Homo-oligomer: A and B are copies of this chain.
Amino acid sequence: MLAPVKFAEFVDTNADKFIQRLADAVAIPSVSGDPAHREDVVKMAHYLNSQLISLGVTTELRDLGKHVMDGQELSLPPAILGRIGDDPKKKTILIYGHFDVQPANKSDGWDTEPFKLTVHSKTGRLIGRGSTDDKGPILGWLNVLEAHKSLGLDLPVNLRFCFEGMEESGSEGLDELILGEVKKEKEGWFYGVDCVCISDNYWLNDRTPCLTYGLRGITYFQITVQGPARDLHSGMFGRTVHEPMTDLIALMGKLVAPDGKILITGIDEMVPAADEEEKTLYTSLDYSIADVEDAVGGQIAISADKVTVLMGRMRMPSLSLHDIEGGAGARTVIPAKVTGKFSIRLVPPQTPEKVDPLVVKYLEAEFAKLNSKSTLTIECSPGGKPWVADIKHWNYEAAIKATQAVYKQQPDLTREGGSIPVTLTFAKSLGVNILLLPMGRGDDGAHSTNEKLDRSNFIEGTKLLGTYLYEAAAIPA
């Protein structure tokens, strides 16, 4: 079943209206990780909810309870559950997305105001926090609904929606919500769901669409070294006491080599080496060292070998050192207490449960070798397990056909380096196939400064989402 021609025409004709909708959404600074913006996340939930209702979706705002952030007890922003269509002859597809965003301040290095969508006149880039992660994709679904409502077209499948506002802050409360709904069986919002579609990742490059069938997991650590009761004058106490910053930097320097190899005993070793057949998969992807260097804006690829770089992203764990907090700034003092932050991206068969104890053991052993009198505290926030899907399922077949129809290209089939923990929750609790169908490109800069979504990805991406529904409806299950 091909999507009706007038659907695509409607999307083209209404492109400017859709971009204005994205501008309205970006203007709400729904930063879930900052208590000062919590009300904005709630505001974003209500904005999205009223849009869904106006487009014919039955919704429910679900209270997820409270949590503690930065020492404050806060109400979690509500999640949105939605449904449209209950035809038992149609397939039912569950759409997931998130309406919260990463923090952004112009002073971080943005060229434009992060919460004001800027349309670059020459490149067509739609620049703003959340443009690609993940407001653009969510609004793509609203665009599809609007097209069908305006044109008086029936949707080819039944749709269910699950939109959350805490994805960038550990998806707190979401697992409980999903598991609760699944437990209700026929009474639950997810009953009868045949597959899941998530648009929260990116093409491998900036020219070839892709479908993603695997994700890395993540586990996050904060390690704190504490010594004196307060910051000390480095002239008076330098070479007199053990300095926490010296110890912390020594410890963090033992976690990962400059070439990306993880030095923590047993982590890299947990992953079986790729055989020649697996390596062929990576050779065939439309990807070059120039792509990664374009995407990151620097000639800093970890290897000149494409397969090594792709495997580093898709099938190897990675350890990134994020920050050291508590430092002296411009003061020449010995900081009293410093905290290092790092995370490890995990691949099968790694899980936080298997990896975290190895990290703790290694940190403690290496700290002991320093013979420091400072104290070490290790905090661990397990994120998600890694995930891999069956790419022979009709869900993938539909997405491949839709990509061919809209983009006239064969999509790359990729595993992705990032982590979307909800993927695993859906996979385990619903027991259905999950498709990651990205809207944005590899150079979009999600989580970074100058985050953008190309206009063509927003508009053609909207067509892709709609067309995917028709293709899914057409394939015998």
Contacts and interface: CB of A to CB of B under 8 A. Distances in A.
A53 interface: no
27 contacts: A108-B231, A109-B231, A230-B296, A230-B445, A231-B449, A233-B446, A235-B345, A237-B296, A237-B313, A239-B345, A240-B302, A240-B417, A241-B298, A245-B323, A246-B320, A247-B258, A250-B253, A298-B373, A299-B373, A300-B373, A320-B333, A322-B327, A322-B333, A323-B327, A324-B324, A324-B327, A325-B327
Contacts of A218: 235, 332
A218 B258 CA distance: 31
Contacts of A216: 235
Interface string A446-477: 11111000000000000000000000000000
Contacts of A365: none
A247 B249 CA distance: 11
A457 B317 CA distance: 59
Copies held by the complex = 2
**Closest 7 A/B residue pairs (Cβ):** A229-B297, A235-B418, A323-B327, A238-B318, A253-B253, A239-B312, A239-B318
Dominant secondary structure of chain A at its interface with chain B? loop
Contacts of A292: 237, 240-241
Interface in A252-273: 252-253, 256-260
A240 B309 contact: yes
Contact of A234 (B253, B345, B371): B345
A446 B447 CA distance: 39
Given A323-B327, A327-B325, A331-B447, A234 B343 contact: yes
Contacts of A227: 296, 298, 300
B243 A253 contact: no
A145 interface: no
A103 interface: yes
A252 B202 CA distance: 35
A330 interface: yes
A98 to B, nearest CB: 15
B250 A258 contact: yes
Contacts of A409: none
Q: Residue among A239, A253, A327 with the most chain B CB within 10 A?
A: A239
A419 interface: yes
Contacts of A243: 320-321
A329 B169 CA distance: 13
A440 B316 CA distance: 57
A116 interface: no
